[in-house]
Structure formats: structure tokens, C-alpha cells
A = this chain, B = another copy of it.
Amino acid sequence: MNISMIAKLAGVSTATVSRYLNQGYVSEEKKQRIREVIERTGYTPSSSAQTLRTGRNNLIGIIVPKISSESVAKMVDGITEVVAQSSYQVLLANTGNNTERELEYLKLFRNNNVDGVVFIGTLMSKKHLAIMRSYKKPIILLGQQEADVSSVYFHDHEAAVLATDCLIRCGCQNIAHLTVTLRDKAVGRERRSGFMETLQNNHLRIHESLVAECAGFRAEDGAVAMQKILDSGVPFDGVFCAADIIAFGAIDCLRRAGISVPEQVCVTSVDNCHMASLYSPRLTSVDLSHRTGGMEAGAILIDQIQNGTQAFSQVGMQCRLYERESTGAVAEQSEGFSVLS
């Protein structure tokens, strides 16, 4: 079933059907006939033919490091929500944290396939930036901020400030930090600098032994790092963790060591993942608006595709602190199980 069949059945030319389908320079009478035939036959134009002819694919590509990461899934959820309201569809490339594959998909998408790309980046190499800066198609970097690349980023530095500040307000004097690799600009560098800066602004000492780098993004990595700090023997009364999952590991480690949260040590982190409000103790954490960030990135991308504006835009998302039990706060009325309280 193709356009010429429809044309024949409706007694018009293929050009008229095509106009009907697109712009609409068609008399009311013929419109009726065409509409009727299309409904009766259930005809849908071939997207590959349309693409071949117009060069437009109606496809956007998303490159993610790991779809089974909660924050990544939230961002993708946001993107798909926005995209679903347009005529675009989403091509998903899940690289499994493999940097080489990221580059491959970046190239693959550029050469063919898609009208635009959302790239959820973690470790940005020179190669990544080179490709992105010379990309022929609209591309939005999501979750990281880099010069000369349109990006939707999260306020990692500010989030760390909020989380650290919260510890200080709780009376913590000796604050530890569980960080991640500095090669990750957002989670590593930005959050660490927010932490450092806040301590300095409050004239608190930064003890080297109280900063430990986690080997990865697993709870176990957080527990190992926490243990390392415990082993150092330097006393502390607060811990700022670079991510919730690390905080869970850290709290677990503290529990095993017989240290209670928040009575002896307060804990904060960043991400406000789903379990943060369910864990025991409920975790004080900073929400970065991952889902909204995804929506924003999707909207900007579609706008760039449709208006051909390659203008750089850098958008930072709001972040917000949720104070919970791990810093001694009581659960808010609005969240958790208010039904029961």
C-alpha cells in the first residue's frame, strides 16, 4: 500500500495525496475523498522513503552510559516525554560505560540516522569534545557543562554547597567527604569543589584523611572509602557523599562500626534517588531535577532541529535540598507516608 495506490483509489494524483499529507494545498472535495481512502486502507506513508527524499529522519538519538542507573533513566524518561509530543522517535544507544562505544555512536548518528542527539556524558575526553564541537547536527550535552557545546547541566557545585552547608548547620565541625574520580567533572570535580569551598567559607579545616575517593559508583565502593576514613583514626561528625548510592554504602559501614546516624555522624549526599526517602535512616539529599533536565534537553534539541538554530544554549537546572533523618530532621509532611502520620 503506497501513495500511488491511494491516489488511484481517490481519483487524484500522487502529488495531491502528498500535499494532503503535508502542507495541504488541496480542495475540500478532494481532501474528503483522500481522507476516506486513507482511513479505509489504514495507509501510513513509508518513513524511509520520506527520509530518503527529504533528508529528515524524524529520529533523535540518545546516548547513555548505563540505562539501568536511576538518574540516567529519569533523564531518559524526561526526554521521551517531550519527544512523544512531537513527531520524533527516539533511538537509544546504551554504551555500558564504554567510552569507545560513545564515540562510535556519536559518529554513527552523525553520519546517518538521526536529526539530532542528546548525549548524557560522564567522562568527557578531548575526543568527545572535538567530535561534539564539529558536529554537523544539533547535539545537546546533558549532565555536563562544556564550553562551545549546547548543554543542559545540573548545579553540582551548588548542590554540594547545600549539602555541606546543611551539615554545618547541624553542628558538624569535622566533615568527611566521599568523592569519585576527578575525571568526572560533574560528580567528581564540581561536587568536591562545592564541598571544599563551603568548608573554607565557614573557616572549617579540611583534613586530608577525611577525604576519600570511591573506586566507582557502587554502595560497596562507598563502604570501602568510609572504612578507609574510619581506619585513619581521625574523628569526624559529618560526611558529605558525592552520590546517594555511595551514602548508602557509607551508612552501612558506619552501622557495622557501631556508629549511629545521625546521633554520632550526620550524612548528606546528592541525587535524591527514590530510596533516599525510604532508607532507614531517611537520607538528606539534594535533588538535581534529572527528569526535568531530560525534558529541557529534549525541548531544546527539537527546537534546534526545527528552527535550524545551532545557537549554543547552556541551561542549568534547579537543585533543592531535602532534609531528612540522616541529618536529624523529621520527615516532611508532604513526602514519605503522610497517610500514616
Name A residues whose Cβ lies closer than 8 Å to a Cβ of B. Answer: 42, 44, 46-49, 51-52, 57, 59, 62, 66-70, 73-74, 76-77, 80-81, 84, 89-94, 96, 101, 108, 111-113, 219-220, 223-224, 227, 248-249, 252-253, 255-256, 275, 278-280, 291, 336-337, 339-340
Asked if residues A340 and B256 are in contact (CB atoms below 8 Å), the reply is yes
A94 CB contacts on chain B under 8 angstroms: 76-77, 80-81, 84, 90
A69 CB contacts on chain B under 8 angstroms: 73
- Most chain B Cβ neighbours within 10 Å, of A70, A96, A223, A275: A275
A291 CB contacts on chain B under 8 angstroms: 68
Asked if residues B256 and A280 are in contact (CB atoms below 8 Å), the reply is no
A279 CB contacts on chain B under 8 angstroms: 275, 279-280
Asked if residues B255 and A220 are in contact (CB atoms below 8 Å), the reply is no
Separation of A95 and B277 alpha carbons in the complex (Å): 26
Interface of A is mostly: helix
Asked if residues B68 and A68 are in contact (CB atoms below 8 Å), the reply is no
Asked if residues A77 and B66 are in contact (CB atoms below 8 Å), the reply is yes
Asked if residues B81 and A73 are in contact (CB atoms below 8 Å), the reply is no
Q: List the 3 closest A-B pairs by CB distance, nearest first.
A: A48-B51, A80-B94, A44-B111
Asked if residues B249 and A278 are in contact (CB atoms below 8 Å), the reply is yes
Asked if residues A113 and B47 are in contact (CB atoms below 8 Å), the reply is yes
A84 CB contacts on chain B under 8 angstroms: 94, 101
Closest chain B CB from A265 CB (angstroms): 15
Asked if residues B92 and A90 are in contact (CB atoms below 8 Å), the reply is yes
Asked if residues A81 and B68 are in contact (CB atoms below 8 Å), the reply is no
Separation of A91 and B253 alpha carbons in the complex (Å): 41
Contact sample, A vs B, 10 pairs, CB 8 Å cutoff? A48-B48, A48-B49, A62-B92, A68-B70, A68-B74, A68-B291, A90-B93, A223-B339, A224-B339, A249-B337
Closest chain B CB from A80 CB (angstroms): 4
Complex: chain B residue closest to A83, CB-CB: B94
A51 CB contacts on chain B under 8 angstroms: 48, 51
A337 CB contacts on chain B under 8 angstroms: 219-220, 223-224, 249, 252-253, 256
A46 CB contacts on chain B under 8 angstroms: 52, 112
